[in-house]
Structure 1
Amino acid sequence: MRDFRWPPPPDGGPRTWGPGPGAPRTGRPALPEPETELVTTPHGVRLERLVTGSGEPSTVFAHGLANGIATTRPFGSAVAGRRVFFQFRGHGRSDTPPGPWSYLDLARDLRAVADLSGATRAFGVSLGAGALCRLLVESPERFERLVFFLPAVLDRPRDTRARSWLADLLTAVESGEASAVADVVSVELPPAVRNTPAGWAYLRQRLDHLLRDGLAAELAALLEQAPLRDAAALKAVTAPALVIGCTGDDRHPVEVAEALAEALPTATLHVYDRPGVLWTDRADLRDRISAFLND
């Protein structure tokens, strides 16, 4: 693999060093940004929301830390009915109320969006999976079906490696330096993708959002927390659940997915054999999620 470089070439390259093709390449363009709305929740925090599709059932999608609507939409591309995407506090155009924040606060955001949208099914990725777990402790019968993708933390705080990466990202975004943010975000990409047109398109989209909207400093407090005191609190959840993990992902240890699947009474666990699932197994992941939620 040739080394990752920033900034990107103006014609969408990348320009590579040494032998190899050097003609202009554009890569697949990112989806155009849809028009979102701000909704006021019962707990007084305005949250950015996007609703797509129509009919029943209605599914709410909860994103990961430092991500948002744009990166969560692909998970719902084949899901039937209404699809409700939103931004947690401190992300996008959502409010940034005074901190410190906890997973209970995130659970309130998720519950409010679900209630206002009439959602009966829920999908949570990484941070969103943790918020969903916290919500289910309070209301184990709230949803009819559940999907957890790459849960990052359950009843223990994130390990040092994950906390270091997220802290670096928050610092880079605060600096406003595109190159610093790109260096951190590029780690999200599998090595084979980082210097390809698709990889550059993804980086541009992520940088556009992070540098435009920023990230609230209050999010840093979540790095030291876990959503649950004891995973056994999930034993009251009776809804069918799908838990998806993968091996080799330092920020989303497979052990967390395994522990979550064991804690949920009616969970099915699927583990991919390598990280970067959205790049390496995108079609299978989409079909697996939609087949489960559309059942």
Structure 2
Amino acid sequence: MRDFRWPPPPDGGPRTYGPGPSAPRTGRPALPEPETELVTTPHGVRLERLITGAGDPVTVFAHGLGGGIAVTRPLGSAVSGRRVFFQFRGHGRSDAPDGRWSYADLARDLRAIADLSRATRAVGVSLGAGALTRLLSESPERFDRAVFFLPAVLDQPRPAAARERLTALLEAVESGEAGTVAEAAAAELPPAVRNTPAGWAYLRQRIDQLMRDGLAAGLASLPDEVAVSDAASLGAVTARSLVIGCAGDDLHPLAVAEQLAAALPDATLQVYDRPGVLWTHRADLRARVSQFLNS
């Protein structure tokens, strides 16, 4: 039986137990993270930001719970114009204000970054999709186009699996042990890639980021929050929308994507047949997002 091991082998390749290929396998190292900046928002929370590309239109990218800029960047690789990536409160180098956080707070973060960069388009991933949903319920004409990738919450709290996954990750980061963090972060990878060069490269980058920046304890309450109290509040949204869901994903139930697409007046629903879309269908996903935003 082959299983996960940490620390990684000295030569960078995975090691497996039992019979199987034994030749050295080396993975390409993860690219160094680009230099980011801290910007002060009108509501007083400093947020970490990265801007790539040039010209118009401007698209803002909002990451998922416990994620960050590195996770959303692949979605923007073929998107034209300026691409604005940022870290929500409690992630990376962004501030972590005291008190309980809600999707209204996250929508405020997203709105501030979008306004500062004059973004007319937005992409939200998981938690970021929830923040985008809340923002559009409050300001239905704010964006021309919107992409919701793996929405996890609408008007009902997230499933227990999301709470358990986040709790495990927060406890691992709090322990300060790289091996414990690695075990928790490995759950983010599809089983088929956990012991591959690409999987190891992702884990190294993810662990470096989590050990360096940590995760704020305030994130623990977010799985109990809802994006909107009533999905009918989305009936006035004017943006053309693309909602991307996935069958069999316990953290991002397909029913949420279906309900969101039905609530938005001008939405297209795309459904993938298995979890791990960023790994199993990355090229197709990037093409769909870029074609929708660039057309």
Is this a same-fold pair by TM over 0.5?
yes
Partner of 2:209: 209
Match of 1:285 in 2: 285
In the other structure, the counterpart of 1:174 is 174
Q: Give 1:23 deviation, angstroms.
A: 3.2
1:81 counterpart residue number: 81
Task: Give 3-state SS (helix, strand or coil) of 1:48's partner.
Answer: strand
Q: Give the residue type in structure 2 aligned to 1:178.
A: A
- Asked whether the equivalents of residues 57 and 81 of structure 1 are also in contact (C-alpha less than 8 Å), the reply is yes
Alignment of 1:253-292 (within 5 A): 253-292=253-292
RMSD between aligned alpha carbons? 1.0
Give the length in aligned residue pairs. Answer: 295
Query: Do the aligned residues in 2 keep the contact of 1:13 with 1:23 (CA within 8 Å)?
Result: no
- TM (normalized to structure 2)? 0.98
TM superposition shift of 1:114? 0.3
Query: Which portions of structure 1, spanning 4 or more consecutive aligned residues, are displaced by more than 4 angstroms?
Result: none
For 2:275, what is the secondary structure of its paired residue?
A: coil
Aligned residue number for residue 43 of structure 2: 43
The residue type paired with residue 54 of structure 2 is: S
Q: Runs of 5+ in structure 2 lacking a partner?
A: none
Q: How does 1:56-135 map to 2 (within 5 A)?
A: 56-135=56-135
Q: What's the counterpart of residue 224 of structure 1? A: 224
State the alpha-carbon separation in 1 of the partners of residues 74 and 30 from structure 2: 11
* Structure 2 residue aligned with 1:9: 9
Counterpart contact for 1:13–1:22, Cα < 8 Å: no
Deviation of 1:10 after TM superposition, in Å, equals: 1.6
Deviations 1:139-180 (A, max 9, x none): 000000000000011110011122111111111111111122
SS of 1:226's partner is coil
Per-residue displacement from partner, 1:184-238 (whole Å, max 9, x unpaired)?
2111111111111111111111111111100000111112111110111111102
Shift of 1:265: 0.7
Moved more, 179-188 or 249-258: 179-188
- Percent identity among equivalent residues? 77
Q: Work out the CA distance in 1 between the residues paired with 2:31 and 2:266.
A: 35
One-letter amino acid of the counterpart of residue 93, structure 1? R
2-structure distance, mates of 1:28, 1:129: 31
Whether 1:30 aligns to 2:68 is no
Amino acid in the other structure paired with 1:185: A
Query: 1:63-117 CA deviation, whole Å, 9 max, x = no partner?
Result: 0011111111001000000000000011001111111111111100000000000
Structure 2 counterpart SS, 1:130: helix
Counterpart of 2:55 in structure 1 is 55
Task: Quote the residue 2:151 is aligned against.
Answer: 151
Distance 1:261 1:43 in 2: 31
CA distance in 2, matches of 1:245, 1:27: 30
Instruction: Tell me the alpha carbon deviations over residues 224-257 of structure 1, each in whole angstroms, 9 at most, x when there is no partner.
Output: 1111101111111021000001111110111110
